[in-house]
Amino acid sequence: MIALTGVRPTGELHLGNYFGAIKPLLDLQEKYVIFLFVADLHSLTTSCDIDTIKGNSQKLLAAFRALGFDPQKTIIWVQSEIPEVCELMYILSALTGFQYLHKGHAFKTACLENKNPTVALFLYPVLMAADILAFQADLVPVGVDQKQHLEICRDLAEKLRNMFGVETKIPEPLIMESTCAVPGVDGRKMSKSYKNTLPIFASVDEIVSIVRQVKTDSTPLGSPLNLENSVLGSYIKLLSKPEDYEKIKKEALAGNYGWGKIKEFVIELFLSKFSYAREKYVELLSDPAELWNQATEGAKIAKERARDFLGSILKRLNSHV
């Protein structure tokens, strides 16, 4: 069984990416073969600044490994190393109605905001379906923002089956209720595009400065603070054991903590949770050649699987393939 996910190299990996996609994948390591990739082609819909994409891809490769994915056991690669995915996208696009894709939320939002969206943005959900179906993944851990993309992927898998008679898995999304929508420091969804993130590998000074700047209400010191439904409270909930969160919540409600103290808790918990990964990250980034070589090895294995699946479709079309 295969669990697969991808992250776009549009910026630094953040707490939302970690809890929405990376942590659930880490937890599946015992039972699934893990496929994890840097979705560099997908990031072209955000920016075509090639050097930045390359730099971010390298950082993501280091981040995946620093957070606990062993390249000997996990298949890690960079999307653009496997062009079979784009071939599959073309076939899937022939099964996708234009009107149907118009409902895609990223495209719809870009149109509403008059952003002159590209054809690639329109096709984003089809490329994502190809990312998943090419490797015949069983389970796809993602944040809740990707729910619609997974539905489109499942629909396209059904169409491949019904219209081409191809044997295919219908992948299941894994959207964890407690971690699928981590708020950003401004209260909106945490996202690289909103510049409201807590980047896992930022310097200590940056983390301290980001957390200190989180806006809080003006509850006077000594008055009850309700951590539920607050951004800082949700970080403490994610980063600590449930019993520790309950203790902090109770003390805050009793008026024993001000927001300053709560911010200190967030900083401490964040830095201690990721202390090992943060050290490992620096070490890994000091040898970029090794990072890329390992990704190329991963791509070779993943590519074979994509070839098999693509071949099974092309054979229906042309038995000489």
- Binding region for ligand ADP (CB under 6 A): 5, 7-8, 10, 16-17, 19-21, 142-143, 145-146, 180-182, 189-193
Count Cβ atoms below 10 Å from residue 1 Cβ, excluding itself.
10
Specify the stretch interacting with ligand TRP by CB under 6 A; choose among 2-10, 60-68, 179-187, 232-240.
2-10
Least distance in Å: CB of 45 to ligand ADP? 10
Report which of 163, 133, 75, 74 is spatially closest to residue 308, judged by C-alpha positions. Answer: 133
Residues 40-79, mask of contacts with ligand TRP (x by CB under 6 A): --x-------------------------------------
Surface-to-core class of residue 101, CB atoms within 10 Å of its CB (0-12 exposed, 13-18 middle, 19+ buried): middle
| CA-to-CA dists, residue 32 to 2, 75, 139, angstroms | 5, 11, 9
What angle separates helix 231-239 from helix 242-253, to the nearest 10 degrees?
Answer: 150
Give the x/- contact pattern for ligand TRP in 238-277, rule: CB under 6 A: ----------------------------------------
Tell me how far, at minimum, the Cβ of 140 lies from ligand TRP, in Å.
5
Nearer to ligand TRP, 42 or 280 (CB): 42
- The rounded distance, in Å, linking the Cα atoms of 231 and 182 is 9
Contact set for ligand TRP, span 137-166 (CB under 6 A) = 140, 142, 146, 149
Residue 265, judged by CB atoms within 10 A of its CB (0-12, 13-18, 19+), counts as buried
Question: For ligand TRP, which residue has the nearest CB?
Answer: 6
Residue 193 touches which of ligand ADP, ligand TRP, none (CB < 5 to 8 A by kind)? ligand ADP
Contact 73, 117 (CB under 8 A): no
- Contact between 132 and ligand TRP by CB under 6 A: the answer reads yes
CB 95 within 8 A of CB 156: yes
